[in-house]
Every structure is written in structure tokens, then in C-alpha cells.
């Protein structure tokens, strides 16, 4: 995904698809072609740049004075970045009790940050209400403009097909709201219909074992709010209400996919492995995608390449869990 503003400044890039030979062997995936779709190469370090770019560009084209969303971190930085590029105001709502490790970056990029009591869902609700009351552009997933976010992430699939020459056997995506997974499915479906891929990959959702609505719906379990345990590791994945659960579940069912859940310790260990063996500062939450592919391969084998969508940037020191 590439774009330039009026001054020629690069807005976003097509992220690399890296063959992972060392990590695959370490995980016991001998003979399996494992690839990492490194979304950390985006300007603010995560896949959220893709959605933020399209939303802010549309807001500018439609003449909105400001763009807003609720976030637990990465999306807010991306919105602030592109709002500054397009000359708009960004108003980011964040849960006061969260880690909020990237709030300073939002402010440095010119965003107004509004702290909200409660969870991520409360921040989204406050953002939606503010957009309606003040005439701002609503960039939240699942809302009136939510389909644009899904479309933004479809480019991930299109880039994978372009690199490999076909769709892989399976693609694993970290899941919070399900927006990215839904977008990746749309991209592969489009590539298949246009004759660019011979089939659809098996899509795999990776998420936290500490409460995600999409996972609960998949397993037919009741999501109990009291079960929710939010930490600096799983904040991007916890979702009492997965805002794009329906299209994400459709993606899983249509491709014979799977859902796997992981504890914090497992995700941190996976991120440390990616950092040590591949030199990529993957966020622990996103390293869950690699763990999901490992489980898939052990359970049913792999009849072709496996791709993990991995995002960054994790700059933290070795944590104590």
C-alpha cells in the first residue's frame, strides 16, 4: 500500500513478506514454509496505519474538521500521524486505566487525547458520541464508516498473493475486534475472483485466553465480564464486544479456519523468539499469530506456505509476568 501527500511525502508502504527459516525450525516446523508479513514496517509501526490512512484521507476529502476514534494505543498514534499529514485535528479517546504506552506519541503528533473511565468499548462509545455531537469523522471499527477499515486491511492479502504468486495454505491474524481478519478475507476473496489466486487460504484467528467475544462466539461459550483480565500484553486483543465479529466469523467459516487462544506468558515468549531469531520487535499480542500457525501445523499439517501477520513495535525490556 503506497500513497503520497501533495508534497510527495510517503504515507504508507507495502510491507515485507519475510521467509522465516530459523524460527520455523526452532518451532519444529521442518519442511514448512513459514512467512512473516511484517506490519511493523508501516510508518507508525503497526498495521493500524492502513485503516488510519484511508479514514483520514476520506475525512479530508469530505471536508471534516477532525477525525476521532477510541483506542488502546496503536490506532491512536496512526490517526494522529495521518491527521497531521492531511491537516486535520485528531481527537483520540483512550481508557484511563490502560497502559497507554503510546499516548505521548499521539500528543507529539498533535492529537488531543481524552481519557475515559472504563474499558476500550467505553472509549469507542465516547468517541462515537463526540463525532455525532460535534460533526467529526467517526473512524471507529464497526461504525458508520467501519467498512473502510475492513477494505484497508484487504491490501495485506493482496500483497501476500503478489509476493507468493498465489494464496498460501493458511494465514494467521491477531484478533481483537476482528476487523483485520475480515479485511484479509476480503482481499483473498477478491484475488480469487479476479483469477490472481487459485483458492482461498485457511484463515486462523489468534487471540487472548482472557476474554475475546469472537473467540467465545466461535467456541459457543458465554463471555463473562468478570473473567476479563486486561494486561499490557493482551490489551490489543481483549474485546467484550468484538466490533467486527460477524464478518470475521464469516471469514473463518468460509475458509475452514480455526481460532486459538493464548496466555500472556506464551505470547511474550513468542515475541522474544521473533526478536532473537528474526530481529523483529514484534508486539507480544501479535506474536500470537505465529503460535496459532504452530498449533495448526501440528494438528493437521500444512499443504503449502503458512503466513503470520505480525505487527510491532515492542520497545520494552524483558518483562516480569
Q: How many CA atoms lie within 13 A of 179 on its CB side?
A: 27
258 in Cβ contact with 296 (< 8 Å): yes
Stretch 53-70: mean pLDDT: 97
Q: Could you report the per-residue pLDDT of 166-187, keeping only the tens digit for each?
A: 999 999 999 999 999 999 999 9
pLDDT of residue 315: 54
Whole-structure pTM value: 0.92
Stretch 37-66: mean pLDDT: 95
Q: How far apart are CA 292 and CA 100, in angstroms?
A: 27
- The band of 228, judged by pLDDT with boundaries at 50, 70 and 90, is confident
Q: Could you report the per-residue pLDDT of 256-312, keeping only the tens digit for each?
A: 999 999 999 999 999 999 999 999 999 999 999 999 999 999 999 888 999 999 998
CATH architecture of 3-45+147-310: 3-Layer(aba) Sandwich (3.40)
pLDDT of residue 320: 38
Residues of the chain with CATH 3.40.50.1100: 3-45+147-310, 48-138
Cell of 134: 460535534
- The band of 10, judged by pLDDT with boundaries at 50, 70 and 90, is very low
* Residues above pLDDT 70, as percent of the chain: 93
Burial of 8-31, coded b for 16+ CB within 10 Å and e otherwise, reads eeebbeebebbebeebbeebebee
- The band of 199, judged by pLDDT with boundaries at 50, 70 and 90, is very high
pLDDT over threshold 90, residue 230: no
Stretch 151-173: mean pLDDT: 97
Regarding the domain delimited by 48-138, which CATH topology (the fold level of the hierarchy) does it fall under?
A: Rossmann fold (3.40.50)
Q: What is the mean pLDDT of the chain?
A: 91
70 in Cβ contact with 127 (< 8 Å): yes
Q: How far apart are CA 63 and CA 60, in angstroms?
A: 5
Amino acid at each position: 500500500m503506497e500513497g503520497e501527500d501533495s508534497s510527495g511525502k510517503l504515507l504508507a508502504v507495502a510491507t515485507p513478506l519475510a521467509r522465516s527459516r530459523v524460527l520455523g525450525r526452532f518451532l519444529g516446523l521442518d519442511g514448512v514454509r513459514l512467512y512473516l508479513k511484517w506490519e511493523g514496517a508501516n510508518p507508525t509501526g503497526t498495521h493500524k496505519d492502513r485503516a488510519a490512512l484511508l479514514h483520514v484521507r476520506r475525512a479530508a476529502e469530505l471536508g471534516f474538521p477532525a477525525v476521532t476514534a477510541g483506542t488502546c494505543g496503536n490506532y491512536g498514534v496512526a490517526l494522529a500521524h495521518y491527521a497531521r499529514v492531511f491537516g486535520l485535528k485528531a481527537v483520540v479517546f483512550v481508557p484511563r486505566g490502560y497502559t497507554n504506552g503510546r499516548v505521548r506519541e499521539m500528543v507529539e503528533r498533535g492529537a488531543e487525547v481524552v481519557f475515559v473511565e472504563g474499558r476500550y468499548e467505553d472509549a469507542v462509545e465516547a468517541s462515537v458520541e463526540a463525532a455525532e455531537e460535534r460533526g467529526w469523522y467517526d473512524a471507529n471499527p464497526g461504525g458508520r464508516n467501519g467498512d473502510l477499515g475492513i477494505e484497508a486491511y484487504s491490501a495485506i492479502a493482496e500483497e501476500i498473493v503478489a509476493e507468493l504468486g498465489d494464496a498460501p495454505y493458511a494465514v494467521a491474524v491477531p484478533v481483537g475486534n476482528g476487523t483485520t481478519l475480515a479485511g484479509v478475507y476480503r482481499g483473498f476473496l477478491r484475488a480469487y475472483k479476479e483469477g490472481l489466486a487459485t483458492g482461498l487460504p485457511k484463515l486462523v484467528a489468534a487471540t487472548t485466553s482472557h476474554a475475546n467475544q469472537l473467540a467465545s462466539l466461535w467456541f459457543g461459550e458465554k463471555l463473562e465480564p468478570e473473567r476479563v483480565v486486561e494486561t499490557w500484553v493482551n490489551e490489543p486483543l481483549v474485546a467484550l464486544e468484538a466490533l467486527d465479529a460477524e464478518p470475521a466469523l464469516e471469514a473463518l467459516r468460509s475458509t475452514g479456519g480455526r481460532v486459538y487462544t493464548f496466555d500472556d506468558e506464551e505470547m511474550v515468549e513468542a515475541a522474544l523468539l521473533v526478536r532473537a531469531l528474526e530481529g523483529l520487535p514484534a508486539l507480544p499480542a501479535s506474536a500470537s499469530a505465529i503460535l496459532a500457525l504452530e498449533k495448526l501445523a501440528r494438528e493437521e499439517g500444512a499443504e503449502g506456505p503458512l503466513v503470520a501477520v505480525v505487527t510491532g513495535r515492542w520497545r520494552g525490556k524483558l518483562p516480569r509476568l
